[in-house]
Amino acid sequence: MTLSAENQNKLKDIKSILYGMEIDYERGNIDHGLDKIKTDIPLIDLHHQELLELVITIFKMLDSSKLNENKLKSLLEDLIVYSLEHFAYEEKLMQDAEYPDINKHKHQHNNFNLKLNCFLSELNAKVELYDYAIRLNLWLVEWYSSEILHNDRKMALFLKRKRIKLYAVAGGIGICLVAILLIFIYRKT
Ligand SMILES: [Fe+2]
């Protein structure tokens, strides 16, 4: 299959964004421990791995010119379901930690869901499959790269710092209680 110059460029862009995330797409699966995309929140890292594997499956169909409309539709539906689950988890963590950028982050999640549903409706209508899939894949890798490398890592850093502060406060309270107890015992004897 001969690709138009525009699609060749989009394919190159997708590869370079994946490369920027240090994802070795040729291996087929993503190493959960990849430093570049790691947030150190295990469930978030696992979700990202699963979501990116779906995106890479679309990319591999494009790269090998083996596009299948039914398979593409089922991948898109999986992405919608998994993304909802993932966003709900992130939003709960942000809410519990009183993350100051929660509204901005939630807004980005909502926009993503809306756009992904638009892509699904578009697929249900008549589309030129290769052009459609490459546009979808480029948008997905751009979105995940920005979401994971910037927004999620920033959020994860805040959550970690907040947790460290909470541990420090709890440690301080513990020390005070032990001191009071020791004073109490000392006075009794
Ligand atoms: Fe995320």
- 3-state SS, the chain, equals CCCCHHHHHHHHHHHHHHHHCCCCHHHCCCCCCCHHHCCCCHHHHHHHHHHHHHHHHHHHHHHCCCCCHHHHHHHHHHHHHHHHHHHHHHHHHHHHCCCCCHHHHHHHHHHHHHHHHHHHHHHHCCCCHHHHHHHHHHHHHHHHHHHHHHHHHHHHHHHHHHHHHHHHHHHHHHHHHHHHHHHHHHHHC
Q: What is the pLDDT of residues 38-75, one digit of tens each?
A: 898 999 999 999 999 999 999 999 888 888 999 999 99
Of the pLDDT bands very low, low, confident and very high (cuts 50, 70, 90), residue 115 is very high
Contact 53, 27 (CB under 8 A): no
**Residue 143 CA, ligand 1 centroid: distance in Å:** 10
Mean pLDDT within 77-90? 95
Residue 166 pLDDT grade (very low, low, confident, very high; cuts 50, 70, 90): low
**Could you tell me the distance, in angstroms and rounded to a whole number, from the CA of residue 134 to the centre of ligand 1?**
22
Residue 161 structural domain:
5-188
C-alpha 148 – ligand 1 centre gap (Å): 6
Per-residue pLDDT, averaged over 17-25, amounts to 86
| 154: confidence class by pLDDT, cuts 50, 70, 90 | very high
Q: How many domains does the chain have?
A: 1
Question: CA–CA separation, 102 vs 155, rounded Å?
Answer: 9
Tell me what pLDDT residue 169 has. Answer: 61
Quote the ligand 1 centre to 128 CA distance (angstroms): 30
Residue 45 CA, ligand 1 centroid: distance in Å? 8
Query: If you measure from the C-alpha of residue 133 to the centroid of ligand 1, how many angstroms do you get, rounded to a whole number?
Result: 22
Please choose, from the candidates 51, 41, 49, the residue with its C-alpha nearest in 3D space to the C-alpha of residue 155. Answer: 41
d(CA 175, ligand 1 centre) in Å: 37
pLDDT value, residue 70? 92
Protein residues placing their CB within 5 Å of the ion ligand 1: 152
Alpha carbon distance 153, 159 (integer Å): 10
Q: Could you give the CA distance from residue 166 to residue 43 in angstroms, rounded to a whole number?
A: 21
Are 104 and 166 contacting, i.e. CB atoms less than 8 angstroms apart? Answer: no
Cβ neighbors of 115 (< 8 A, separation 6 or more) are: 139
Distance 88 CA to ligand 1 centre (A): 10
pTM (predicted TM-score): 0.83
Q: What is the dihedral of CA 95, 106, 118, 137, to 10 degrees?
A: -100
Ligand 1 mean position, distance from CA 11 (Å): 24
Distance 166 CA to ligand 1 centre (A): 24
pLDDT band of residue 179 (cuts 50, 70, 90) is: confident
Look up the CATH number of the domain holding residue 79. 1.20.120.50
Nearest Cα neighbor of 151 from 20, 48, 76 is: 48
